[in-house]
Amino acid sequence: MTAQSQPWTATVLTLFPEVFPGPLGVSLAGKALERGIWHLDALDIRAHAYDKHGSVDSPPLGGGAGMVMRPDVVDAALASVADRPGPVVYLSPRGRVLDQSVVRELAGEPGLTLLCGRYEGVDERVLEARNVAELSVGDVVLSGGEVAAMLVLDAVVRLLPGVMGNAESGADESFESGLLEHPHYTRPAEWQGRRAPNVLLSGHHARIRQWRRDQAERITKARRPDLWARYVGQTDHEPEDDER
């Protein structure tokens, strides 16, 4: 355990609880789960169905393809975890787009409840009645919210105190400074005729830091004009010439 008095608590409401923890059970997230830094409950929405068939969906009112998750079933599932800490979030293409600032916000909460939709989605009335926030992991359509939930939890858990062994390792990563991350190199210094930049072999830490910052700026400017525009609005930096 860390200095936290209670583990950060993740609750996932899903029709497929058996897929969890999945990749969250290995590497950093898995080790932190074993150590009790965070806690995961994947709960079956179907347990709150009202008929013997376990029905959770109905055809959309007004016609159309697919099925919609029923408000009464989803409401009962949400009511069963109403005492869990942190906000309730429905994973939806309509939601606020996930970025590192949102991840930091969620990591600062005592926990999080994630509602995973399926079919055509969830009846709007229960989202309104329960004041459920919506969060999108990108402009893509998934079969359900489970993969998106894993993405969100993986991003959040790694920021919890005590999860990353080197506290500085997260500070230099993509998006933390508003930039994409600089390139990485390791041994051997030369591989298949390609040599790592000389500055990285110099032992000159100030020059290495500057080179990495320059590379991060250069890559961001070339690959993510949206991030670059936001970054230059806050700084007066321009990428320096490459030094190899």
Co-location of 239 and 119 in the same domain: no
Q: Within a 13 Å sphere around the CA of 16, how many CA atoms are in the beta-carbon half?
A: 15
Q: In the predicted model, what is the mean pLDDT of the chain?
A: 92
Co-location of 31 and 130 in the same domain: yes
Q: What is the dihedral of CA 11, 13, 18, 20, to 10 degrees?
A: -40
pLDDT for 94 beyond 70: yes
- Give the pLDDT confidence of 99-147 residue by residue, as tens digits: 999 999 999 999 999 999 999 999 999 999 999 999 999 999 999 999 9
Q: What is the pLDDT of residue 152?
A: 98
Co-location of 30 and 131 in the same domain: yes
Q: What is the CATH number of the domain that holds 242?
A: 1.10.1270.20
**H-state helical runs in the chain:** 27-34, 71-79, 100-107, 124-129, 146-157, 205-223, 225-232
Co-location of 39 and 75 in the same domain: yes
Q: What is the pLDDT of residue 35?
A: 97
Co-location of 152 and 218 in the same domain: no
Q: What is the CATH number of the domain that holds 61?
A: 3.40.1280.10
Q: Is residue 164 part of a domain?
A: no
Domain boundary pick from 157, 183, 204: 157
Co-location of 67 and 142 in the same domain: yes
Residues 6+ apart with CB under 8 A from 53: none
Cis status of the peptide bond prior to 59, with omega within 30 of 0: no
Q: Are 71 and 127 in contact (CB under 8 A)?
A: no
- Count of domains forming the chain: 2
H or E stretch at 113: strand 111-115
Co-location of 197 and 151 in the same domain: no
Q: Are 43 and 14 in contact (CB under 8 A)?
A: yes
Positions at the binding site for S-adenosyl-L-methionine: 117
Co-location of 242 and 189 in the same domain: yes
Q: Are 40 and 24 in contact (CB under 8 A)?
A: yes
Three-state DSSP state, 182: coil
Q: Which domain holds residue 224?
A: 172-244
pTM, two decimals, is: 0.85
Q: Is residue 163 part of a domain?
A: no
For the chain, what is the radius of gyration of the CA atoms?
22
Positions at the binding site: 117
- Give the pLDDT confidence of 30-76 residue by residue, as tens digits: 999 999 999 999 999 999 998 989 999 999 999 999 999 999 999 99
Q: Is residue 28 part of a domain?
A: yes
- Give the pLDDT confidence of 173-231 residue by residue, as tens digits: 556 688 999 999 999 999 999 999 999 999 999 999 999 999 999 999 999 999 999 99
Residues 6+ apart with CB under 8 A from 124: none
